[in-house]
Copies of this chain bind each other. A is one copy, B any other.
Amino acid sequence: MKWYFSNDAPIYAQLIGQIRRGIVSGVFPPGERLPSVRELATEAGVNPNTMQRAMAELERDGLVYSQRTAGRFVTEDRGRIDDFRRRLAAEHVRRFLEDMEQLGFSRGEILSLLPQATRKEGDAHGDPGM
């Protein structure tokens, strides 16, 4: 697992995002045991407490569960994982459409604009803001 962080969001939140993405995309398969918090923390180069916080949140979301002394595991509930994937996607879509409409793009324009978007779109700079 490769870890990278920006400075426009708290590290623990970025950890959540990256791990969640790992689960949702199958890097961490359902039911699999995750490395210990300490391991993950050193691997990611963050403080164990920070990693612990991320894990706690993932646990609250039901994506992972901890077994008292055995370690932490990805949920076996594939439905839940898939549900999450869909929810995250839907949220991305919603935000995207909202953002574009606020810039004055119609649905039609958006749809026609999207396919031509290729890798490395150019010099867009940083956070487009809210």
Complex Cα distance, B43 from A3, in Å, reads 38
Chain B residues positioned under 8 Å from A26 (CB to CB): 104
Residues of chain B within 8 A (CB-CB) of A102 are 21, 25
Among the listed B13, B24, B99, which residue makes an inter-chain contact with A104, where contact means beta carbons less than 8 Å apart? Answer: B24
Chain A contact residues (Cβ within 8 angstroms of B): what range? 35 or more
Name A's B-contacting residues (CB within 8 A). Answer: 6-7, 9-11, 13-14, 16-18, 20-21, 24-26, 65-68, 85, 87-97, 99-100, 102-105, 107, 110-111, 113-115, 117, 121-130
Assembly stoichiometry (copies): 4
Q: A7 touching B68 by the CB < 8 A rule?
A: yes
With A24-B104, A100-B89, A103-B89 known as contacts, the answer to whether A130 contacts B6 (CB < 8 A) is yes
Q: In the assembly, what is the distance between CA of A6 and CA of B104, in Å?
A: 21
A79 to chain B, nearest CB (A): 15
> Would you list 15 pairs from A and B whose C-beta atoms are within 8 A, ordered by A residue?
A7-B65, A7-B66, A9-B130, A17-B130, A18-B130, A85-B103, A85-B104, A88-B124, A91-B128, A92-B96, A92-B103, A93-B100, A94-B124, A110-B114, A111-B111
> Does the CB pair A93–B68 fall under 8 Å?
no
Q: Which residue of B lies closest to A17 (CB)?
A: B129
